């Protein structure tokens, strides 16, 4: 390898019929880096992962893992990587050990290496007790830990994690995140993970690529991404107005300095505004309409705010049913469906 880039992606594109799932994306991931692809469902995260893990072929562009081309040298790539997919890669009718032995043997691992490796990983993720139980009887958290173990059998240099904590209880989520950090710290494993959870990306990733509608719209460290907001004079305010009405909301929106208003519940609103006098202008507008202000709080920008600023939308599942009101165009909601293949 000429550089210390573990992954090099150039103009990668994937179409499904007329639908462009991944649109001409390019990025690099350094060795031992934790790289996050952040975006809403259907943004193209999984499709990108599937192309990088040689599961599907791109329509255009190239990608190299450890210097090997994902199309021309796919077997070489497969030897280097491990995949924790969104779906559980486990056979319910087989026991934990049977599952791991099956997958380990696909990597040509002899028993003398494979058996200790299985024991070690089961021990590390607290599953030793369940070694001979069928995976079908496992809880979701246990299954996801199994999924991680499976991906680590061949001691991969690059580990891909597609929504690794999706649908997990808080405790399992913390466990998996801690494990990812430990793996990166102790084994220098390069990690590329996708998530739609802002705090997860913030917590785990050295650098984050924000992906929306198949394109990478921003790519930097979490701190730098947030600076793009605070740096250009954006203020984020959280107001508690007990007598909040829709006309009052409209008034706030029409204040010149306000970029966007989002309602969090019956009395709380979050406002993005620019300018030094934003604070005063907003309070004046609320008071003028006889709005009562119970509390006011200035918030530090989050990745969510970054995404909102870049795309004009929140990174939320449709089910959350949150309305984002923008200055200018009317409320927008997500309408993309999740595409995995």
Partner 1 sequence: MMSHSFRIAWKDLLEVFRNRMGLVLLILMPIFMMVMVGYIYPSDSSVSNVTVALVNEDVGYGGYTNASSTLIAILDTVTSNTDSITLTEAASFDELRTMIQRGDADAGIVIASDFTTSIMNGQQGTITLVTDQSNMQMSATLQAVLEEVFDQLGTALAQQNVQNLGVDPSNALAVVQPYNVETQGAIEGEFTYFDFVAPGIIAMTVMMSVMTGLPVAISEERESGTLDGMMVAPISRTAVILGKTLAQIGRGLLQGLIIIAIAVTIFGVTIHGNILLVFALLLLCVFSFVGLGIVLTSFTKDQETATMLMSTIMFPMMFLSGVFFPVEQMPWFMQAISKCLPLTYVADSLRKVMILGADITMLTTELAILIGFGTVMIAVAVPVFKKAITS
Question: Which chain residues interact with partner 1 by CB under 8 A?
Answer: 53-57, 75-76, 78-79, 81-83, 85-91, 93-94, 98, 102-103, 105-108, 134, 150, 154, 341
- Measured from the CB atom, is 86 or 220 closer to partner 1? 86
Contact status, residue 239 vs residue 269, Cβ threshold 8 Å: yes
Q: Which is nearer to partner 1, 84 or 249 (CB)?
A: 84
Q: How far is the CB of 208 from partner 1 (least distance, A)?
A: 24
Residue 127: CB minimum distance to partner 1, A: 17
Q: Is the CB of 118 or the CB of 315 nearer to partner 1?
A: 118
C-beta closer to partner 1: residue 150 or 207: 150
The nearest distance, CB 75 to partner 1, in angstroms, is: 5
| Smallest distance, partner 1 to C-beta of residue 100, A | 11
3-state secondary structure string across the chain: CCCCEEEEEEEEEEEECCEEEEEEEEEEEECCCEEEEECCCCCCHHHHHHHHCCCCCCCEEEEEECCEECCCCHHHHHHHEEEECCCCCCCCCCEHHHHHHHHHHHCCCCHHHHHHHHHHHHHHCCCHHHCCCEHHHCCHHHHHHHHHHHHHCCCCCEEEEECCCCCCCHHHHHHHHHHHHHHHHHHCCEEEEEECCHHHHHHHCCEEEEEECCEEEEEECHHHHHHHHHCCCEEEEEEECCCCCHHHHHHHHHCCCEEEEEECCCCEEEEEEECCCHHHHHHHHHHHCCCCCCEEEEECCCHHHHHHHHHCCCCCCHHHCCCEEECCCCCECCCCCCCCC
Q: 319: which 2 tokens?
A: 């089910």
Nearer of residues 135 and 239 to partner 1, judged by Cβ: 135
**Cβ closest to partner 1, residue 48 vs residue 260:** 48
Q: Whole-number minimum distance, CB 54 to partner 1, in Å?
A: 7
Residue with smaller CB distance to partner 1, 153 or 229? 153
Q: How far is the CB of 106 from partner 1 (least distance, A)?
A: 4
Instruction: Report the nearest approach of partner 1 to the CB of residue 83 (Å).
Output: 5
- Smallest gap, in angstroms, from Cβ of residue 45 to partner 1? 15
Q: Which is nearer to partner 1, 67 or 312 (CB)?
A: 67
State the sign of the Cα–Cα–Cα–Cα dihedral 295, 300, 303, 309. Answer: positive
């Amino acid at each position: 390898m000429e550089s210390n880039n573990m992954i090099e992606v150039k103009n990668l594109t994937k179409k499904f019929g007329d639908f462009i799932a991944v649109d001409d994306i390019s990025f690099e991931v350094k060795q031992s880096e934790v790289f996050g692809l952040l975006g809403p469902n259907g943004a193209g995260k999984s499709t990108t992962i599937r192309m990088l893990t040689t599961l599907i072929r791109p329509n255009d562009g190239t990608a190299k893992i450890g210097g090997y081309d994902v199309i021309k040298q796919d077997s070489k790539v497969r030897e280097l990587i491990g995949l924790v997919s969104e779906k559980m890669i486990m056979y319910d009718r087989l026991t934990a050990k049977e599952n791991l032995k099956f997958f380990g043997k696909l990597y040509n691992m002899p028993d003398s290496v494979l058996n200790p490796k299985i024991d070690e990983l089961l021990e590390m993720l607290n599953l030793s007790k369940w070694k001979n139980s069928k995976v079908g009887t496992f809880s979701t958290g246990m299954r996801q830990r199994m999924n991680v173990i499976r991906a680590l059998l061949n001691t991969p240099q690059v580990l891909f994690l597609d929504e690794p904590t999706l649908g997990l209880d808080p405790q399992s989520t913390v466990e998996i995140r801690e494990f990812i950090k430990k793996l990166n710290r102790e084994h220098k494993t390069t990690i590329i993970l996708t998530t739609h959870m802002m705090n997860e990306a913030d917590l785990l990733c050295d650098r984050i690529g924000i992906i929306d509608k198949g394109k990478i719209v921003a790519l930097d460290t979490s701190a730098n991404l947030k600076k793009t907001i605070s740096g250009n004079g954006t203020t984020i305010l959280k107001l508690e107005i007990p007598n909040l009405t829709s006309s009052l909301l409209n008034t706030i929106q029409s204040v010149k300095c306000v970029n966007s208003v989002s309602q969090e519940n019956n009395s709380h609103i979050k406002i993005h505004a620019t300018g030094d006098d934003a604070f005063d202008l907003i309070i004046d507008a609320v008071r003028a309409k006889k709005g009562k202000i119970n509390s006011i709080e200035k918030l530090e920008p989050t990745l969510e705010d970054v995404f909102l600023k870049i795309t004009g939308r929140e990174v939320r599942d449709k089910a959350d049913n949150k309305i984002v009101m923008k200055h200018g165009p009317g409320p927008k909601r997500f309408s993309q469906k999740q595409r995995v293949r």
